[in-house]
A and B are shown apart, each in its own frame.
Chain A
Amino acid sequence: MNRDQEGQALAAIRDTAARLAQEGPTQEEADRAREQACAGAAMSLETVQARMNHQGSSLLLQGRVRSLSEILSAYRQVTREQLRDLAGAMLQFDKASLSAVGRVSPPEFYVQQLGLKDISGKNRAH
């Protein structure tokens, strides 16, 4: 992002994440995300190469291969409440980290902008 607008963008990201963590998504947001994920899953398995890759990596890393029907079903079963709970559990600012490259400010600037927990000197580097 452009450095002049960095603060503005970070504030918007922080506010959106905080809103999601506290309130969860709206029903419209949840429905749209679900349909996008289902369509994306189906489209991503269209080619022979994609199927080979999906089944090989799934079996190796997850121990099983889910069919497209199972994947779509898993997405359909996600409720708005589960999304809210997950957002609340994951988007904890006191556990967040940051990495920045460019014409950057010191870490303290970003820690303050994003509302991160004040990170000890050992894990703060410039």
Chain B
Amino acid sequence: MDLITLPNGARLLLNPVPDTRIASLGFFWGAGSRHEKAAENGAAHFLEHMSFKGTRRRDAACLAREADAIGGQLNAYTSKDHTCYYIRCLDQHLGRAADLLCDMMLCSRFAQEDVEVERGVILEEIDMYEDTPEELCAERLDRAVYPGSSLGRPVLGRQSTLEGMTGAWLKEWQREHYRPEVLVVSLAGSFGQGEVDFLTQALSALEPGPAPKAKPAVYTPAAVTRKKAIEQNHIIWAFPGLSYLDERRYALILLNSILGAGPPPGCFRRSGRSGGCATTFTPPCPTTRTRGFGRSTPP
């Protein structure tokens, strides 16, 4: 594996994998909902959506058509800690795929009419989460144990915060947060020097500068319940956890397995099988850079 660190701070990781014809390319930005102020909640996720709505060279249909034309799988996700955009395809099409993804990352259009459409899509997504009890349960827990912190706020944001976001505002949020010092571009599989040179040149164009840092979050014990007319109750029992920088995280993953993530041990055997009720147990795992918490989630 090779790491190239560019003068502006952007990092390019190369992992050639022999005997494959697949290449996978991802942009990992250290900008998620943790990096939002309260009034900005949902910006990182909104930005992710807008990246698929067109660039200076391609409209949204063109982006989708070009990805389809090479059999590429183009997608993205936003988390509390980071946002990732990726594409994978046959190696012979990697040049086109890299050009497409770089265009999305560096030259998004942020047209106001697209913002209005996408805001509606995200509001639908929020409603969908409201209808997904396990997600609702987790979101309420986050809010309760990290009160007033960005870590306690939902990745999708809220209607009240999303309503104020315009194309120009999102573009500025991107400029402030998508800095090369918090960018890792990861390329794995089958690729050549030409694609590496293209990426190096494209990333070098990024304007250097400090990216906003997330504030530390303080865990506060809490108990919250929400009445909802569904057949099964969803319960999360949480403990203060470890940062995923903590060396004990490997032990924690083993503890996770012992408590019930794996087959028959611990709680699953005792509460699930012998108790005769359907229960799954998802115990502690390192969940965030600063500090996560464990959850037991019986659906």
Q: A61-B82, A61-B244, A83-B258 are in contact. Are A100 and B233 (CB under 8 A)?
A: yes
**Of residues 137 to 177 in B, which have CB atoms within 8 Å of A's CB atoms?**
137-138, 140-141, 144-145, 147
Chain B residues whose C-beta falls within 8 Å of the C-beta of A29 in the assembled complex: 258, 265-266
Roughly how many angstroms separate A13 CA and B238 CA in the complex, as a whole number? Answer: 12
Q: Assess whether B145 is in contact with A97, with CB atoms less than 8 Å apart.
A: yes
Q: How far is the CB of A42 from chain B (nearest CB, A)?
A: 14
Q: Assess whether B237 is in contact with A98, with CB atoms less than 8 Å apart.
A: yes
Q: A61-B82, A90-B239, A125-B224 are in contact. Are A101 and B244 (CB under 8 A)?
A: no
Roughly how many angstroms separate A114 CA and B158 CA in the complex, as a whole number? Answer: 32
**Of residues 263 to 299 in B, which have CB atoms within 8 Å of A's CB atoms?**
265-267, 270-272, 275-279, 281, 284, 289, 293-294, 296, 298-299
Q: Assess whether B248 is in contact with A92, with CB atoms less than 8 Å apart.
A: no
Q: Assess whether B250 is in contact with A6, with CB atoms less than 8 Å apart.
A: no
Q: Assess whether A100 is in contact with B226, with CB atoms less than 8 Å apart.
A: yes
Q: How far is the CB of A77 from chain B (nearest CB, A)?
A: 8
Q: Is residue B187 contacting chain A, with contact meaning CB distance below 8 A?
A: yes
Q: How far is the CB of A98 from chain B (nearest CB, A)?
A: 5
Specify the chain A residue showing the minimal Cβ separation from B138.
A99
Chain A residues whose C-beta falls within 8 Å of the C-beta of B144 in the assembled complex: 97, 99, 123, 125
Q: Is residue B43 contacting chain A, with contact meaning CB distance below 8 A?
A: no
Q: Is residue B23 contacting chain A, with contact meaning CB distance below 8 A?
A: yes
Roughly how many angstroms separate A21 CA and B223 CA in the complex, as a whole number? Answer: 21
Contact partner of A65 (CB less than 8 A), chosen from B13, B22, B26, B298, is: B13
Q: Assess whether B186 is in contact with A98, with CB atoms less than 8 Å apart.
A: no
A contacts with B, residue count (CB < 8 A): 72
Q: Assess whether A105 is in contact with B232, with CB atoms less than 8 Å apart.
A: no
How would you classify the secondary structure of chain A's contact residues: helix, strand, loop or mixed?
Answer: helix
Contact partner of A33 (CB less than 8 A), chosen from B1, B227, B231, B258, is: B258
Contact partner of B251 (CB less than 8 A), chosen from A5, A52, A82, A92, is: A82
Contact partner of B228 (CB less than 8 A), chosen from A13, A91, A102, is: A102
Contact partner of B17 (CB less than 8 A), chosen from A37, A48, A95, A99, is: A48
Residues of chain A having any CB pair with chain B under 8 Å: 1-3, 5-6, 8-10, 12-13, 15-17, 20, 25, 29-30, 32-34, 36-37, 48-49, 51-53, 55-57, 59-63, 65, 71, 74-75, 77-78, 82-83, 86-87, 90-92, 94-107, 110-111, 114, 116-117, 119, 123-126
> Could you show 15 A-B contacts with beta carbons less than 8 Å apart?
A33-B257, A33-B265, A48-B88, A51-B17, A52-B186, A52-B188, A55-B15, A59-B184, A75-B250, A94-B221, A100-B137, A105-B225, A110-B225, A124-B222, A125-B222
Minimum-distance CB pairs A-B, first 6 = A56-B186, A12-B271, A102-B233, A99-B141, A5-B277, A52-B188
